[in-house]
Amino acid sequence: MIADRKDDHVRHAVNHRRNHSGGNDFDSVAFVHHALAGIDSADVRLGVDFAGKHWNSPLYVNAMTGGSTNTGEINRQLAVAARETGVPIASGSMSAYFRDPAVAGTFRVLREENPHGFVLANVNANATLDQVHSAIDLLEADALQIHVNSVQEVVMPEGDRAFAGWPRRIEEIVAGVPVPVIVKEVGFGLSRQTVTWLREAGVAVADVGGRGGTNFARIENDRRAGADFAFIEQWGQSTAACLLDCTGITGIDISASGGIRSPLDMARALALGAKATGVAGAFLETLVDHGTEALVAKITTWLDQLRNIMTVLGATTPAELTGRDVLVTGDLAGFCALRGID
Ligand code: FNR
């Protein structure tokens, strides 16, 4: 049942975070410190123009859940945190709603709790135009996310095995909806080739959704006894690698998600070319373990600290972080060498 799967995803995602060492490729990205580069904190502006609107900061709560009683309550609490901090929020995949309209409330709560906020609907790349319209209508969504998650699907015995129609469907959706479209991976990364294709298809934002945080291959393997797909847990490119791979691509905005653990990771992602950063697992863990107020405090602190980092680096806007001096080391430097990235 979809509802059980949604509950399992939350449980395993949070458990993995509790037991995970937490290292990822962002640890291989260091800012060069220039002691006289600093500016006045009062001159820092965190706002960005993104996905068709002005956002107060380059941060959003990424797609997670909905479709069961428990995940409806999680969505309610996430929406309250988004409202209190002014950050945009995405729903989890709305396939459950397409199959059973009775679960509409578990998604609709994102808008009810956050009537003036920026809300994103989330669908898979098989969704029909009618389904996409109903998802956007239900949430009065400001933008649409389409997730492309072939790796997650093949790890699930009950998952999809037909991906050839995705590019065509993405084109149809882009042409047929009244809001900006974001295409996102769920933790295995978008390559330069994929992002370039998305740009040609008219997609507004590519959320690279790379490796380094929530790992859906691991989650799906852990959901069933005797799963033999462990090798695929290392699949894909890290978020930092994806951003470097996309260096210089114009005509489509890039956002970064997958393994953003801190305001420093946000700054690193912005320096590597992201215009905004999305967080799922780190916020879910705080919410489940410590509640809504703790999540509000965490988001507030992250934004304060991002401002401090920008002050030290001399960046008045998130866009000015792009191109700041960074050192790239370790396997990530090897990736750059292999891909011919300077
Ligand atoms: C997700 N994610 C996700 N993405 C999506 O597009 N549709 C979905 O329904 C879900 N569901 C979902 C459930 C749970 C419990 C988690 C933690 C995540 C993926 C999410 O948006 C993001 O791409 C990845 O989690 C990587 O980011 P983090 O978690 O490393 O910050």
Dihedral sign computed on CA atoms, order 210, 215, 218, 221: negative
CA of 43 to the centre of ligand 1 (A): 34
pLDDT band of residue 224 (cuts 50, 70, 90) is: confident
pLDDT (0 to 100) of residue 199: 98
Does ligand 1 come within 6 angstroms of the Cβ of 284? yes
**Positive or negative torsion for Cα 263, 44, 276, 274:** negative
Packing angle, helices 69-85 and 292-313, rounded to 10: 40
pLDDT at residue 308 is higher than 90: yes
How many whole angstroms from 257 Cα to the centroid of ligand 1?
9
What mean pLDDT comes out for the span 210-233?
87
Mean pLDDT of 105-118: 98
Q: How far apart are CA 44 and CA 313, in angstroms?
A: 11
C-beta of 239 in contact with ligand 1 (< 6 A): no
CA distances from 24 to 53, 173, 241, 242, 252 (A): 31, 34, 11, 13, 26
Q: Is the CB of 13 under 6 A from ligand 1?
A: yes
| Percent of the residues in the chain that have a pLDDT greater than 90, as a whole number | 91
For a pocket test of ligand 1, which of 5, 15, 64, 182 has the largest count of ligand atoms closer than 8 A to its C-beta?
A: 64
261 alpha carbon to ligand 1 midpoint, in Å?
A: 14
First to last CA, the chain: 48
Expressed in angstroms and rounded, the spacing between residue 39 Cα and the centre of ligand 1 is: 36
Confidence at 222, pLDDT banded by 50, 70, 90: confident
Tell me which residue has its CA closest to atom 18 in ligand 1: 64
Q: What is the ipTM of this complex?
A: 0.99
Give the mutation target among 62, 87, 98 for probing the ligand 1 site: most ligand atoms within 8 A of CB.
Answer: 62
Nearest CA to ligand 1 atom 10: 64
Distance of CA 130 from the midpoint of ligand 1 (Å): 24
